[in-house]
């Protein structure tokens, strides 16, 4: 898969360079190719590139600063996925970076061991320590960037760590997978991080979701739905209080407050 994407990026670069011989390829192109989430949320910025004497102080439009590997792929500097994650970790917000890492772990396009091996072999490189730190907050179970966001907000709120992607087997033998499950004091609270199917225009999807919710409630589960607007004006924090989600004993260290 990586070889195929390198080939695609190579063709993209080759075709573009024919018409733009002085071009400098940035990570914008690689992020689009790799399907890295949340990329469109980054603001367009102008950075000074100093990749060679010829290009000294030449300005290019790019979302984040370019980085060129010493190792070339068929004559071109091809940006690998791990390099892309390194740049996002150093230049984007921590939530977006962790979402990007989690997305590619979930897609099995890269593994934790791949990233750790890279960090060990490139420990001299700027930002590697940051990438390794954010990797500890990534999860291969995050099915979407929104699930990553919810999971990180739960961590920052200092509540107990839920079980992720838990499978519920009902007495009727039906099986349902839920995003997050809190179990405490005899209570079983499901947190659904999408909550949108319930309001879908598809009548069949709405009916299936209502049946799923009824089945889970009959099994003794409470269901808490979280949508993006719940992070405004403290609604998410209040929602956790309303459901009585307990604090964890070891609060742990917050990720980082500063945006990059």
**Domain ranges within the chain, ordered by starting residue:** 2-135, 145-242
- pLDDT given at position 57: 43
User: What DSSP character marks residue 39?
Assistant: G
Return the closest-CA partner of residue 136 out of 89, 179, 181.
89
Check if the beta carbon of residue 21 is closer than 8 Å to that of residue 57.
Answer: no
Pair of tokens at residue 73: 């792929």
Query: DSSP 3-state assignment of 225?
Result: strand
The 10 Å Cβ neighbour count of residue 60 is: 18
For residue 194, how many C-alpha atoms fall within 13 Å in the half-sphere facing its CB?
Answer: 14
- pLDDT given at position 205: 78
Query: DSSP 3-state assignment of 124?
Result: coil
The CATH code belonging to domain 145-242 is: 3.40.960
Terminal-to-terminal C-alpha distance of the chain: 30
- pLDDT given at position 89: 86
Distance between CA atoms of residues 148 and 38, nearest Å: 12
Return the closest-CA partner of residue 98 out of 26, 171, 147.
147
- pLDDT given at position 71: 41
Per-residue confidence of the chain (260 residues) as pLDDT tens digits? 566 766 666 666 666 556 655 454 556 666 766 778 754 454 444 333 334 434 444 444 333 344 434 344 455 555 678 888 888 888 778 888 899 999 999 999 899 999 999 999 998 888 899 999 999 999 999 998 889 989 999 998 989 989 999 999 988 888 999 999 999 999 999 999 875 555 556 778 778 888 888 999 999 999 999 988 888 888 999 999 999 999 987 655 555 433 32
pTM for the model stands at: 0.74
- pLDDT given at position 229: 85
């Amino acid at each position: 898969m990586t070889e195929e994407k390198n080939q695609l990026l190579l063709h993209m670069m080759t075709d573009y360079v024919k018409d733009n011989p002085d071009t400098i390829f940035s990570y914008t192109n690689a992020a689009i190719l790799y399907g890295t989430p949340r990329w469109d949320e980054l603001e367009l910025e102008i950075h000074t590139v100093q990749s060679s004497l010829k290009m000294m102080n030449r300005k290019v439009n790019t979302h984040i600063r370019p980085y060129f590997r010493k190792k070339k792929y068929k004559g071109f500097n091809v940006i690998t996925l791990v390099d892309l994650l390194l740049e996002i970790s150093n230049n984007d917000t921590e939530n977006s970076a962790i979402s990007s890492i989690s997305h590619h772990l979930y897609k099995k396009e890269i593994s934790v061991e791949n990233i750790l091996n890279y960090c060990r072999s490139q420990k001299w490189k700027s930002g590697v320590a940051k990438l390794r730190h954010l990797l500890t907050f990534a999860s291969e179970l995050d099915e979407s960037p929104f699930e990553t966001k919810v999971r990180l907000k739960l961590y920052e709120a200092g509540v107990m760590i839920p079980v992720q992607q838990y499978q519920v087997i009902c007495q009727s033998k039906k099986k349902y997978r839920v995003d997050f499950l809190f179990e405490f004091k005899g209570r079983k609270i499901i947190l659904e991080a999408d909550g949108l199917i319930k309001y879908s225009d598809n009548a069949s999807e709405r009916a299936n979701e209502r049946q799923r919710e009824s089945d889970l409630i009959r099994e003794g589960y409470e269901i808490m739905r979280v949508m993006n607007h719940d992070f405004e004006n403290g609604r998410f924090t209040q929602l956790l209080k309303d459901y009585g989600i307990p604090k964890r004993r070891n609060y742990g260290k917050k990720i980082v407050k500063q945006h990059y």
